[in-house]
Structure 1
Amino acid sequence: MRGIRTFCVAARHLSFRLAAEELFVSASAVSHQIKSLEQELQVPLFERNGRSISLTVAGELLFEEANHAVSRIDDAFQQLRGEYRHASLRVSVQPFLASELFVPRLNEFTALYPHIDIHIETSNEVSERHPVTADVSIRLFRTPPSGLAAERLFPLRLVPACSPGFRDSLNLVGWHLAKAVPMVVHSSRPNAWKMWSDNSGIRVPQTSNYIRLDSMTAVTRAAEQGLGAALVSLPMARSWFDSGRLVRLFDYELVTPDNYYFVCEKDQLQRPEVIALRDWVMQSFAVNR
């Protein structure tokens, strides 16, 4: 079959060089395969006149019959690839978004597109970057990343939260905390409590007891365990409030300048599987905008 296919391409171009370019092999490889085919058939298929070639009568007969057969085989292969092949997508999602929002709804996508394999990477949640190993990323950015295709999903919102038992132990006076309390702080957002206080108008007392953690998952878990009051992210922490594991300390939400974006290289937008994931993400998470 390799010799027949090579012969058909060379016969179509009447050039070993152009056949080699189409087949991504060397011209000598094309010449060798055709010579092997001629030896097997024991009949010349090309007239070689210096740098030019032409089909012999036997070559014309073989090309007329074989080219049609090769085309039908190629069509069958393309149909099988389209119907049965599994596309693959590598998706980088920051850990808390992955565990609380993306993965719990991923069965909806896989039900719609069972032929697309999803590989999720929960990489560094701090840095604003689109990992080079990912086809697609859903990550936080202060501004849309330059040079990439980026569609805004929703802003990062922070709300004060704690465990029910911790809230019951506090001395709340009106809209203020009457005494210092332990504060859980995300290490990448050391000034978040001050921003929340300045924007809400609710005074947060000074405290010497800060617990600094480097992931939003750890921050939320610390609040659930009653270690202190924490600014947790919405909408990711919604299920924690719905289940009663967390309660709001105050209702005011700080809308940060950071937004989650669906990001990929611009040429990736031509891939059907990327288009499918983008459309599903935009539709599924639009309610959080």
Structure 2
Amino acid sequence: MPVNPRFSLRGLRSFCVAARYGSFRTAAEELHITASAVSHQIKNLEEMLGEQLFERGGRELKLSSVGAQLYEDVTPLIEQLDAMVARYKKAPERSSIRISVQPFFASEYFIPRLHDFTATHPTIDIKVGTSDESAERHPGDADLSIRLFRTPPADMRSDLLFPLTMAPAGSPEFQRSMVVKGGKICSDFPIIVHETYPNAWKQWSEAAGIELPDNQKVTRLDSMIAVVRAAQRGIGAALVPIPIGNLWFEEGSVVRLFDKELVANVSYYLVGPEGDASLERFRSWILQTFVTAR
């Protein structure tokens, strides 16, 4: 039996989709072609078969008796063909990248923005690990890391993101109780100190020209998350990293106590050796997102 050269699997598929929706326009949207292309393919199919598949003339698109029978016969075959092709279709290659990010940077700044990358790179799996905030080293089990360094490692690529900058902050109630006269804080002013930066308040005081009270109460904590949480609860004033802690300011749970900021002698760097195309895409996204974020 000779094969009709006009036979078109594409035409049969267009016919089945149009029959299922009862609309050339809706079929065109699913098939990513124009409605006129759907109509043209079905017309060619009708000419090949010598049969009218849809009843013309009404406002609704209805199958003829021949069209209804063809739809019933062909639909299972199209589904089987799609299933067979899916079994042979090669799945996209996946890659995995592990990045180590210091805890406060990770929770407040990095993870809230990570969806922007994963949504556009669905085949790249990102594993985020957090580790000791004070260790100035690139973890050996990470492909990339974002960490604070006075001097970044010389044996691998290091890209500067931004210097550690801190702003004095406290709860709204703490701010209302604060009294400053003649460049000196005259009210009760307990401070919260991150153990990694024990002299930060003294440095800020000297840079800002604001004298801190004598014999003030000091609360020492070993993580930045705990420091900011303590400030939120009204325990005292804290030096909060910006722009990393900006979400706390935006929601109003902590507020700035003074405009003067302290720029520390350490900076956030993106560190890690050169890698494959996936790794370099991730590195480029981080630099584009976080170098210009401030």
TM-score when normalising by structure 2: 0.67
State the alpha-carbon separation in 1 of the partners of residues 204 and 249 from structure 2: 19
State the alpha-carbon separation in 2 of the partners of residues 274 and 259 from structure 1: 22
Q: Is 1:255 the equivalent of 2:263?
A: yes
Identity rate of aligned residues, in percent? 48
1:218 paired residue number: 226
State the alpha-carbon separation in 2 of the partners of residues 286 and 134 from structure 1: 21
Q: Which whole-Å deviations, capped at 9, do the CAs of 1:232-270 have from their partners, x for residues lacking one? A: 1111111111111111110101111211111012xxx13
State the alpha-carbon separation in 1 of the partners of residues 288 and 242 from structure 2: 18
Give ranges in structure 1 of 5+ residues lacking alignment.
1-78
Shift of residue 175, structure 1, vs aligned partner: 4.1
State the AA in 1 paired with 2:280: I
For the structure 1 residues 149 and 160, does the alpha-carbon distance in structure 2 shift closer, same or farther, using more than 3 Å as the test? same
State the alpha-carbon separation in 2 of the partners of residues 162 and 87 from structure 1: 43
Q: Which whole-Å deviations, capped at 9, do the CAs of 1:125-147 have from their partners, x for residues lacking one? A: 11101011111101111112121
State the alpha-carbon separation in 2 of the partners of residues 147 and 135 from structure 1: 14
Q: Which whole-Å deviations, capped at 9, do the CAs of 1:49-82 have from their partners, x for residues lacking one? A: xxxxxxxxxxxxxxxxxxxxxxxxxxxxxx94xx
Alignment equivalent of 1:190, drawn from 194, 198, 222: 198
Alignment equivalent of 2:142, drawn from 126, 134, 143: 134
State the alpha-carbon separation in 2 of the partners of residues 209 and 141 from structure 1: 30
Alignment equivalent of 1:232, drawn from 234, 240, 244: 240
Give ranges in structure 2 of 5+ residues lacking alignment.
1-88
* Residues 183, 207 of structure 1: 8 Å contact kept: no
Q: Which whole-Å deviations, capped at 9, do the CAs of 1:97-118 have from their partners, x for residues lacking one? A: 0011100000000012111101
State the alpha-carbon separation in 2 of the partners of residues 239 and 270 from structure 1: 33
Alignment equivalent of 2:288, drawn from 257, 276, 283: 283
1:270 paired residue number: 275
Q: Is 1:176 the equivalent of 2:181?
A: no
State the AA in 1 paired with 2:187: K
Shift of residue 153, structure 1, vs aligned partner: 0.5
State the alpha-carbon separation in 1 of the partners of residues 275 and 195 from structure 2: 38
1:9-24 aligned at under 5 Å gives the runs none
State the alpha-carbon separation in 1 of the partners of residues 140 and 286 from structure 2: 21
1:102-181 aligned at under 5 Å gives the runs 102-173=110-181, 175-181=183-189
State the AA in 2 paired with 1:99: S
State the alpha-carbon separation in 1 of the partners of residues 253 and 269 from structure 2: 28
> Secondary structure of the residue that 2:109 maps to in structure 1?
helix
> Secondary structure of the residue that 1:198 maps to in structure 2?
helix
State the AA in 2 paired with 1:279: S
> Secondary structure of the residue that 1:203 maps to in structure 2?
coil
For the structure 1 residues 99 and 181, does the alpha-carbon distance in structure 2 shift closer, same or farther, using more than 3 Å as the test? same
State the alpha-carbon separation in 1 of the partners of residues 253 and 105 from structure 2: 18
Shift of residue 85, structure 1, vs aligned partner: 1.9
State the alpha-carbon separation in 2 of the partners of residues 224 and 175 from structure 1: 25
Shift of residue 174, structure 1, vs aligned partner: 5.3
Shift of residue 200, structure 1, vs aligned partner: 1.4
State the AA in 2 paired with 1:287: T
State the AA in 2 paired with 1:192: A
Alignment equivalent of 1:95, drawn from 103, 107, 119: 103
State the AA in 1 paired with 2:291: A
State the alpha-carbon separation in 2 of the partners of residues 206 and 127 from structure 1: 32
State the alpha-carbon separation in 2 of the partners of residues 122 and 85 from structure 1: 27
* Residues 160, 291 of structure 2: 8 Å contact kept: no
State the AA in 2 paired with 1:100: E
* Residues 88, 117 of structure 1: 8 Å contact kept: yes
* Residues 178, 188 of structure 2: 8 Å contact kept: no
State the AA in 1 paired with 2:176: D
State the alpha-carbon separation in 2 of the partners of residues 227 and 207 from structure 1: 16
> Secondary structure of the residue that 2:192 maps to in structure 1?
strand
State the AA in 1 paired with 2:229: R
Which has a greater percent of helix? Answer: 1
Q: Is 1:205 the equivalent of 2:210?
A: no
C-alpha root-mean-square deviation of aligned residues, in Å? Answer: 1.5
2:38 paired residue number: none
State the AA in 2 paired with 1:114: P
